[in-house]
Structure 1
Amino acid sequence: MGKPTGFMEYDRQTVKERQPAERTKDWNDYTIPLSNEEVAKQGARCMDCGVPTCHTGMDLDNVTTGCPVNHLIPEWNDLVYRGQWKEALHREHLKNNFPEFTGTACPAPCEGACVLGINEPPVAIRTVERSIIERGFAEGWVVPEPPKSRTGKKVAVIGSGPAGLAAAAQLNKAGHLVTVFEKSDRVGGLLTYGIPEMKLSYDMVQRRVNILEQEGITFITSVEVGKNYPSSKLKDDFDAVVMCTGATVHRNIDVEGRDLKGVHFAMDFLHASTKSLLDSNFEDGQYISAKGKNVIVIGGGDTGTDCLATSVRHDCASLVQFDVYDKKGAIRDEKGNPWPQYPKVHRIEYGHKEAAATFGEDPRAYAVMTKKFVGDESGQIKEVHTVNVKLKIDENGNRIREEIPGTEKVWKADLVLIAIGFSGPEQDLIQQLELETEVNSRVKAEYGKYTTSVEGVFAAGDVRRGQSLIVWAINEGREAARECDRFLMGTTVLP
């Protein structure tokens, strides 16, 4: 603990942001890094608790609290305060292969579990995390570290999202020959095509992939195992397989007019936008444009917020985001949401700020349920009909939403984006490999073991646990690699 009084002397400070009205004119990173001195002060706020809860991930009230990869948070906070940045980077990488991804796009459940957060703003853990890794790259400290020897064992990793990349990185460290299959034309999965450029740039993903390639990992893109690469070849070509294909089946809305033109899944919108931007700076026109349109985003989560930010940059005419939940309070409810649960509070994220700067007000409408979509004579969406709802508990203890009479409303719409998450993984490859499944068609594999019903095939990340966080994907990818190494070698060198 570098400064025992740091948490009393310094206020919480996170990364700065460019002005919303300025940043919506481009697709560059919307944040501005803190100086090294400012980051050191944030590290000094860490209390070095007797029993720190920030670094141990768990689910409380169905929400993650603490860090699932068990980051050595108090240690690298202290090291940054003392100016030992290179050692702090080493401590980061001990538990997390990709702190740049979590430091950029993770919702920071570690901060929700910070002991200081009981009665003060928590330590700015995510800001310190990203600052360490970015300085590491800037100083040339992040370099390829290929294994000193090879086992001769070959492993296929299917999917190049955070789980697949983590599994590949760890298996390569163990000396195995790793091939990563990615069905898209670029590596990264939802890191690349599910998170917009201004939030997590493809350059950041490619920077890490370049290192992994130099360490000996082979990446094969535009190849979908089970379609243009026969699943039967996996057994012939590889000694083991790690399934990290994610949970990409969209959760849909079953309302009248769902098949109208102009109603899209949010991820289709985001994927096409990023691909067109990276391919041609939108000159190819191969994307769903929000330009000049009245846009409605259905869903109040992070993906919905990304749709707001993307639509503003497309130069939409108007923007509304429906949230089926009531507006949360500014502070944590100590009875219903006590520490160290992740704080369920009202947040104003980057996309909300940008929409407000563009249109003069926060774009969110709360406790709104979509009733139907109405189109014009050509089958194009023109209206969304809604009603307000309130949450009730029925006689069986189930949570239901009751419509409030007199709150019906009609909204003008030219483009509707459905951002209510994913229901589970795609089934084609799972069925071809004859893997046993469970709830929501997830691959059945015990947490901590990751073995499927087929010997030599492991499953990790969202394909096993369902839609979740980047940090859980990295956790599972690392652990699945450990168990795969144990299967291949009889013992394991991986943590």
Structure 2
Amino acid sequence: MSTPTGFMEYKRELPIDRDPAERVQDWQEFHKHMSSEQLRTQGARCMDCGTPYCHTGIELPGGTSGCPVNNLIPEWNNLIYRGLWREALDRLHKTNNFPEFTGRVCPAPCEGSCTVGLIGDSVTIKTIEHAIIERGFEEGWVVPQPPKVRTGKRVAVVGSGPAGLACAAQLNKAGHNVTVFERADRIGGLLVYGIPTMKLEKHVVQRRVDIMEAEGIDFVTNTEIGKDVSAEQLVSDFDAVVLCGGATKARDVQIDGRELKGIHPAMDYLNGTIKSYLDSNLEDGNYISAKDKNVIVIGGGDTGSDCVATALRHGCKSVTQFGTHAKAPLERDTVNNPWPQFPNVYTLDYAHEEAKAIFGSDPRAFSVLTKKFVGDDNGNIKELHTIQIERTVDETGRKIYKEIPGTEQVWKADLVLIAVGFEGPEKTLIDQLSLEQDRWSNVKARYGKYTTNVDKVFAAGDMRRGQSLVVWAINEGREAAREVDKYLTGSSVLP
């Protein structure tokens, strides 16, 4: 323990973000950094609990509790307090291949289950994690570490998102020859095309990919397995195949007027902007623009929030984000949302802070159900009709929506973005390999084993578990690598 009374002596502090009105003028990350002394003080608030829920990584009602990759959080908090940054980096890398990703985009369920949060504000775990890995890069401590011995076994990883990259990194450490196939033109999966640059700048992803390439991993872009290369051929050419293609089949809405022009899936909107930005700094115009438009985002999750932030940077006239959920309370409901569940409380995400700074209010509309889209004479969207709802959950856990009469409303709209989640993985590979699926249409493979019904074929990440957190993808990629290593060699020293 750094100091037994640190959580009483010091208050929780977070890095100061760039001014919202300023940062919407560019596409750079919005966080600033804390000094080493500030971070040391924050590390002192960690109590090194006897049962540290911060790194338990378990599923509880309402979401994940603790860190799914089981980061040794109290250990590196203490090391930062003692000024041992290199040792802290080693402990961090022991459980997490990519802390530079999770330190930026993870919602930090570790902080939600921090014991200090029972009586006050939790430890600033995510901030410290981010600082450790960035210090590691600045000092030159993060360098390629290729394996000393190769096994001669060849493994194909399909998909270069966080699950695929984690799996590839671990298999390479075990000495296998790993090839990662990516259908896009850049390596990174949703880390590149999916998460906006203001949350995760893409040079951060490429920095890690360059290290992995120097360690001996082969990356193949612009190659879609199932189309450019058949799934059967891949299985024939490699000793094992790990499917990490994600849950990329977007869920749509069945609403009158859906066919109108100006209504788009959220990922088409986000990915088009990201690619145009990376290719030409948006000069090629190959993206859906929100400039001077009234924008409605249907969907209250992170993807919807990213659409809000992107629309602001495009220069939209207005932006509103619809959610079917009710507005969260200002304080945790200790009866229905007790510790160590992730706290369901009202907060402003980065995008909502920005919209409030530009337009004067939180852009979210809660408990809203869209009833129909209405277009103009040219078939373009011009307005949405909605009604307020009350959402309840029955005894089976099924959500029930009850419309509230008299709450109908009409909203002006020139651009509508659908961000209501994903239905699971795409079917091409699944059909070609005759893979079994679970009741949610994900590839059927037991957690902890990752084996499918087809010999040599494994599945991990969102393709196996459905849409989830980046940190769960890293967890599954690492564990799948261990199981593949066992399959190929009979045993494994991988964690």
**Do Structure 1 and Structure 2 share a fold, with TM-score over 0.5?**
yes
Using the TM superposition, give the Cα deviation of residue 119 of structure 1 relative to its aligned residue in structure 2, in angstroms: 1.5
1:394 and 1:236 mapped to 2: Cα distance? 48
Alignment of 1:43-82 (within 5 A): 43-82=43-82
Q: Which moved more, 1:431-440 or 1:103-112?
A: 431-440
Letter paired with 2:181:
F
Q: Is the 8 Å Cα contact of residues 427 and 441 (structure 1) preserved in structure 2?
A: no
Describe the SS at the equivalent of 2:225.
coil
Q: Deviations over 1:135-154 (max 9, x none)?
A: 10011110000000100000
User: In 2, are the aligned partners of 1:18 and 1:32 still within 8 Å (CA)?
Assistant: yes
Residues 424 and 463, structure 2, Cα contact 8 Å, conserved in 1: yes
Equivalent residues in 2 for 1:242-281 (5 A)? 242-281=242-281
1:91 correspondence with 2:91: yes
Matched, 1:221 2:221: yes
Cα–Cα, structure 1 residues 394 and 231, in superposed 2: closer, same or farther, change >3 Å?
closer
Percent identity (aligned) = 63
- In 2, distance between residues paired with 1:128 and 1:288? 37
Q: How does 1:68-217 map to 2 (within 5 A)?
A: 68-217=68-217
Letter in 1 for 2:470: I
The AA in structure 2 aligned to 1:266 is A
Distance 1:182 1:396, change over 3 A: closer
Which position in structure 1 is the counterpart of 2:387? 387
Name the counterpart of 1:33.
33
1:236: how far off? 2.8
- C-alpha distance in 2, partners of 1:396/1:297? 30
- Quote how far apart the aligned CAs of 1:301 are: 1.1
Are the equivalent residues in 1 in contact too, given 2:62–2:342 (CA < 8 A)?
A: no
| Cα separation, 2, equivalents of 1:249 and 1:304 | 16
Q: TM-score, normalised by structure 1?
A: 0.99
Secondary structure, counterpart of 2:200 in structure 1: coil
Partner of 2:456: 456
Query: Equivalent residue of 1:31, what SS?
Result: coil
DSSP-derived class of the 2:212 partner? helix
In the aligned structure 1, how far is the partner of 2:341 from the partner of 2:347?
16
Q: 1:208 to 1:420 in 2, by over 3 A?
A: same
> Counterpart amino acid of 2:245?
T
Shift in alpha-carbon separation, 1:394–1:112, aligned structure 2, 3 A:
closer
Corresponding pairs, count: 495
**Map of 1:15 onto structure 2:** 15
Once the two structures are superposed, residues 24-67 of structure 1 have per-residue CA deviations (whole angstroms, 9 ceiling, x without a partner) of 11111111011111111111110111111000111111511110
Query: What secondary structure, in the 3-state scheme, does the structure 1 residue paired with 2:53 have?
Result: coil
- CA offsets 1:370-391 (integer angstroms, 9 cap, x no match): 1011111111110011000012
Gap regions ≥5 residues in structure 2:
none
Pick closer, same or farther for the CA change 1:397–1:170 going to 2, 3 Å. Answer: closer
Gaps of 5+ in 1: none
- 2:235·2:457 contact (CA, 8 Å) conserved in 1? no
The CA RMSD over aligned residues, in Å, is: 1.0
Q: In structure 1, give the amino acid aligned to 2:34.
A: L
- Shift in alpha-carbon separation, 1:396–1:99, aligned structure 2, 3 A: closer
Take 2:147 and 2:303, find their aligned partners in 1: how far apart are those partners?
Answer: 37
1:365 counterpart residue number? 365
Conservation of the 8 A alpha-carbon contact between 1:273 and 1:287: yes
Shift of the 365–79 alpha-carbon distance from structure 1 to 2, 3 Å rule, reads same
Question: Are residues 1:429 and 2:402 paired?
Answer: no
For residues 432-491 of structure 1, give each alpha carbon's deviation from its aligned partner in whole angstroms, at most 9, with x where no partner exists: 011111122111100000000011110000000001000100000000000000000011
* Mean Cα deviation higher: 295-304 or 396-405: 396-405
> Offset at 1:209?
0.3
CA offsets per residue over residues 334-366 of structure 1, 9 Å max, x none?
000000001111111110011111111111111
Describe the shift of the 1:260–1:78 C-alpha distance in structure 2 as closer, same or farther (beyond 3 A). same
Structure 1 runs of 4+ off > 6 angstroms?
Answer: none
Q: Deviations over 1:188-213 (max 9, x none)?
A: 11111111001101111000000000
Q: Which residue of 1 aligns with 2:482?
A: 482
**Are 2:406 and 1:416 equivalent residues in the alignment?**
no
CA distance in 2, matches of 1:130, 1:449: 30
CA distance in structure 2 between the partners assigned to 1:351 and 1:28 by the alignment: 14
Relative distance call for 1:88 and 1:61 in structure 2 (3 A) is: same
